Amino acid sequence: MKKETQFLWGGAISAAQSEGNYLADGRQPSNFDYLPLDDRRLKAVYKNQADSILASIGDEIYPGRNGNDFYHHYREDIGLLKELGVNSFRFSISWSRIFPTGEEEQPNEAGLKFYEDLLTELEKQQMEPIVTLSHFEIPIQLVKKYNGWEDRKVIDFFLHYGKTVMTRFKERIKYWIPFNEMNMVLHIPFIGGGILFEEGKDNLSMQYQAGHHQLLANALIIQAGKEIDPANQFGAMLAAGKTYAYTCDPKDVFAALQQERENLLFSDVQVFGEYPKFFAHYIVEKNLKLRIDQEDDEILKKNTVDFVSFSYYSSACTAAEESGIDRVATNGYTTLRNPYLPKGKSVWQDDPLGLRITLNQLQDRYHKPLFIVENGIGTQDEFADGKVQDDYRIHYLRGHIKNMLLAVEEDGIELMGYLMWGIIDLPSVSEGKISKRYGVIYVDQDDQNKGTHQRYKKDSFAFYQKIILSNGAVVFE
């Protein structure tokens, strides 16, 4: 890659999956802290079952409450990342550390102090912070009282939170991502929107309404953020991955197009400042009941994003008639198994060329700088004698980074950076298990939260270090 480009090589984590210490220093729980360690995690939570999930009783393990103890290990972690050579680090601020119930007037000083100290550490190590305001988190009181993002009032609470941190950390944070993977509210509504479903209610409309409120909140954060500091840059963030047609039958191609535009709906609005044309028909077809006020159009139009960030783990595959075709899990939902992709170490299908295709697709559509803010492989690792020989992760990194660099060099993609996801092992969102590991840094902790939390460098650590040092060249050797 060209040396003069200010490419951001880094790693990413979220507060909910890393910090732990969920009641420390005045914090109160968020939706994420109520996700149990079983397959209820990804399901829509219904109001009538919510009591058992929100009761927080018994010996159940709630991985969000433990994270990987980043709250106490952040200095050491940033030190290790410095040794790795990264020049940037993405983390999220936990809303309920700053406003424990979401409704306070005054912020929790201890919460602000934690992030202030973290920023000081990053500045010392010359790392650019990339900060997400809501990475699958909303204070639980806002879930119980307002049904999360279903209620328009939540926009004001979020704005108050956003303005508070953007003012406090003015000139210390330039890159902001108001919401992580906004399109996830359509797949994992309790995690993505803090909303509880109700039997007999129009839950699909509720999901889109919550999404609309997040879009408004995103736009108002941009408006406020630019007033606070015009140098602030804001990014859309979507769970990306090109949707392929299962065959070249035009019916399959059309099915893929339809799935794709649903997936890109929120980022379309964030970039273009308006809903795409198809959505008016979609509303009628699905009989969606949405409240979109006239003033909303103006707010969305005036406050669009500066860049488009995304996570990429795999591509997806769809057909007009899907019955009888094998399915496979991917990020937050299931998709058709792509017969052209070899079986990798992870359950999710690896598709390194899919990253290049996705980069091209997003640039063609959005004409904005792109930013890969999550990519990585979640697998079981074998830890012995302080070592992890994760050649599969090295293989994954090589393939994906090679395709990313080809996209930049040969396809003219304008790319701000590459952040490896879960750079320090953390509990997975879908499984809740830390035994599904993403990091180049191993954390001595098991799924029951037993262990010393000590950090170790995996073999992939040295490889990613070489990638950064050579500005990518090593992946072509």
Active-site pick, 19, 150, 374, 431: 374
Mark the segment that binds ligand BG6 (CB under 6 A) among 75-83, 218-226, 293-301, 422-430: 422-430
* Of residues 96 and 180, the one with the C-beta less far from ligand BG6: 180
Judged by CB under 6 A, which of 18, 263, 331, 449 binds ligand BG6? 331
The encoded tokens of residue 274 equal 């308006």
* Number of Cβ atoms within 10 Å of the Cβ of 83: 12
Among 378, 417, 439, 472, binds ligand BG6 (CB under 6 A): 378
Angle 210-165-146 from CA coordinates, rounded to 5°: 30
Q: Which residues neighbour 343 within 8 Å (Cβ) at sequence distance 6 or greater? A: none
Q: Which of 27, 436, 457, 458 binds ligand BG6 (CB under 6 A)?
A: 436
CB neighbours of 344 closer than 8 A, spacing ≥ 6? 350, 377, 392, 396
138 binds ligand BG6 (CB under 6 A): no
Q: Is 349 in the site for ligand BG6 (CB under 6 A)?
A: no
3-state secondary structure of 403: helix
CA-to-CA separations, 420 to 10, 378, 464, in angstroms, rounded: 6, 11, 9
Nearest to 408, CA basis, from 339, 453, 327, 475: 475
Angle at alpha carbon of residue 105, lines to 101 and 108, rounded to 5°: 60
Position 180 contacts ligand BG6 (CB under 6 A): yes
x/- map, 283-302, ligand BG6, by CB under 6 A = --------------------
Q: C-beta of 262: minimal distance to ligand BG6 in Å? A: 17
Is 414 designated active site? no
Which of 128, 150, 374, 425 is the binder for ligand BG6 (CB under 6 A)? Answer: 374
Establish if 311 lies at the interface with ligand BG6 (CB under 6 A).
Answer: yes
Q: Say how many CA atoms lie within 13 Å of 354 toward its Cβ.
A: 21
Please, how many CA atoms are within 13 Å of residue 139, restricted to the half-sphere of its CB? Answer: 22
Q: Is 163 exposed, middle or buried (0-12, 13-18, 19+ CB in 10 A)?
A: middle
Residue 449's alpha-carbon distances to 67, 375, 426, in angstroms, are: 9, 25, 11
Each residue 256-285 as x (binds ligand BG6 by CB under 6 A) or -, in order, gives ------------------------------
Residue 181 in contact with ligand BG6, rule: CB under 6 A? yes
Q: Applying CB under 6 A, does 239 fall inside the site for ligand BG6?
A: yes
Nearer to ligand BG6, 70 or 279 (CB): 70
Q: How far is the CB of 404 from ligand BG6 (least distance, A)?
A: 18
Residue 374 falls in the annotated catalytic set: yes
Residues found near ligand BG6 in the complex (CB under 6 A):
14, 17, 180-181, 239, 311, 331, 374, 378, 421, 428-430, 436
Positions marked catalytic: 181, 374
